Structures are given as C-alpha cells and as structure tokens.
Amino acid sequence: MSAQSTSPPGPAPSLSEVLETVEQLWPLHLQEPWDASGLVTGRPDRPVRRILFAVDPVADVVAEAVSTGADLLVTHHPLLLRGVTSVAADGFKGAVVHELIEHGCALLACHTNADSAPDGVSDAVARAAGLTTTTPLAPHPADPAVGIGRVGDLAQPLRLRELARRLADAVPPTAHGVRVAGDPDALVRRVAVCGGAGDSLFDAVRASGADVYVTADLRHHPASEAREAAVGPGADGTPYLVDLSHFASEWLWLPVGAAALRAALAARGHDVQIEVSERRTDPWDFRIDHPAPGPADPDSEPAADPAAPTAGGPA
C-alpha cells in the first residue's frame, strides 16, 4: 500500500538530474565516514517518472516498487553497507539487485546524509516530539549548522509519560512499541533526539543538558549505564530515555523527504510521481506482554496491540 501524490503532466527528468537534485537536498559529503549512501543500481540517462520512498530495501519493498512501475526506489538504509564479493541472485541481496535491474528500477540510498541535512530524520523526530527550534546534537565537521541528532526545548514542559504518548501517536505502530526509562510524572522540557540507533551519543546528550533523550535501538548496557549515571551521586535523574523502534523513528522522514524532492523537481520543471511506501519493514511481528502481577494501574499506558495496523498499513 502507498500514499500517492500526482502532479500535472510535464517532462520527466533523467536519473542523473534526479541525483543532482538529491545532492542539493541531502549532500553526500554529509554522510558518516563508515556509510554507503548513494546510487546502487540504475542508468544515469534513464527517465524517472515515478519514485517510491521507503526505509529498507528489502524484498517486499522492491516488489512494491516493481509492481507500481517505479523507476527509482529511494531508501533510507543502504542495501550494501558492507563490502560483498557477489550479487548472485541465489542470495537475498543479490536477488534484490537482479529484481531491480531486470525491471529497470534504480536504487538510491540516502542514509546518514539524510540524517544530518536540514529537514532530515532527526528533524522529523524533533517535530513529532513538539520541538520547534533545534541545534545539532553532534555537529558535522564540514558544516556545524547540521549534523547527527537534534536538541531543543518544548514550548511548555510535559510529563515524561505525555511526551512518550505524543511520540507513540506519531510513529507507525510496531511490536516494539515505545519504551521509557524514568519517572513517568517527571516534567521535561529540553529534549535531545536521534532517529535510528543513537546510543553512541550519550556524552553529547549529557553535555546538551537534555531532560530526556529520544532515540531507537537502545541496547541493554548503554541504556543501563546511562540510567546509572543519571541517578548516581550528584545526579538529578536525567536524561530520561524514550526508545522508539528503529524503523518507526526513521519512517517519519519519508513523507518529508518525498515532499522535498517533489518540490525541488517541480521547481526544475519536472513532473515526477512520488509515493511513500506504507509497508512495515520493522523486523519484529508481534510481542507477548507479561501478565500484570496485580490490579492494573489506572495511570499506566496500555500495551501496544501487536496485531494493530501500522500507520503505513499492513506489513
């Protein structure tokens, strides 16, 4: 299933022209040194009339791109982040490469360059949290005005549970749900965010003075050590932690990125149909909650229904 956008008839750009436009929006020099953003498959001279945005270049998403006639699939995550010696179709990544090439669909990854750039992934998470003015949590060496993560203040303080509820309402539902560490009734105002896995930024979060850190993929030991440091001698309990699904936190950027590319191509006089994939590519399918040990707490948040449809539709 996809959220579709249409435009008046007009000339279709070549893939190379789309790449020029993407470079203006999410410059490759902003990607992290270990990253592999950029074009994976596609002929630069081929026309692009239809584009699909998605988080992951997995088989189901590629099948969606092919079935809808997309000429270009733009994903946040790279398909080939680490080196490979073969893309033979008897492996799942090779099969994806063959499916794309055989159906004339290019693949472009906009990963940490789209994290760092303005209106990127972390800006989308910051807006979902209710932040209006932010600065980079980890400024990029080449341009301190952008970078990984964001930090800023809420217009009015919120209880931690209220902020978590706001975020849960904004992201696509997943089996992961939204996990929180901290006093649910604590008031928070300064919020640090990082879409995707952000447990490498705890030092920057503490230095920012954030009351709460919103990120994803928090592993046991970094999260435990962060909380121990927050409640240890001389500490005040912050930063609290809000842990989103990796997929859900980054999905928030897809409509923003699609709209930005649509507008930039239209400004060049091009007509391109751009869609956002609504497939859930979070790897987890359901969760079994522990039974309550006693009477339910009337103030507790209900457990997420793992069978509930995602904001992006069924998986």
Question: If you average pLDDT over every residue of the chain, what do you get?
Answer: 92
pLDDT at residue 8 tops 60? no
Cα separations (Å) of 51 from 11, 64, 111, 119? 15, 11, 17, 19
How high is the pLDDT of residue 83?
A: 84
How high is the pLDDT of residue 85?
A: 86
Query: Which tens digits make up the pLDDT trace of 227-237?
Result: 999 999 999 99
Sign of the CA dihedral running 62, 66, 70, 72:
positive
How high is the pLDDT of residue 84?
A: 87
Q: Do residues 272 and 13 lie in contact, with contact meaning Cβ atoms separated by under 8 Å?
A: yes
Closest CA relative to residue 63, chosen from 288, 313, 281, 298: 281
Q: Do 2-30+38-109+250-277 and 115-244 share a fold?
A: yes
Q: Do residues 38 and 79 lie in contact, with contact meaning Cβ atoms separated by under 8 Å?
A: no
Query: Could you tell me the pLDDT band of residue 222, with boundaries at 50, 70 and 90?
Result: very high
Domain boundaries, the chain: 2-30+38-109+250-277, 115-244
Counting residues of the chain whose pLDDT is more than 90, the rounded percentage is 86
Query: Which residues is 138 bridged to in the sheet?
Result: 148
- Strand 50-54 versus strand 72-75 pairing type: parallel
Task: State mean pLDDT over 283-300.
Answer: 78
Three-point CA angle 260, 265, 269, nearest 5° = 145
pLDDT at residue 5 tops 80? no
CATH superfamily of 2-30+38-109+250-277: NIF3 (NGG1p interacting factor 3)-like (3.40.1390.30)
Query: Which tens digits make up the pLDDT trace of 32-85?
Result: 999 999 999 999 999 999 999 999 999 999 999 999 999 999 999 999 998 888
CATH superfamily of 115-244: NIF3 (NGG1p interacting factor 3)-like (3.40.1390.30)
Counting residues of the chain whose pLDDT is more than 70, the rounded percentage is 90
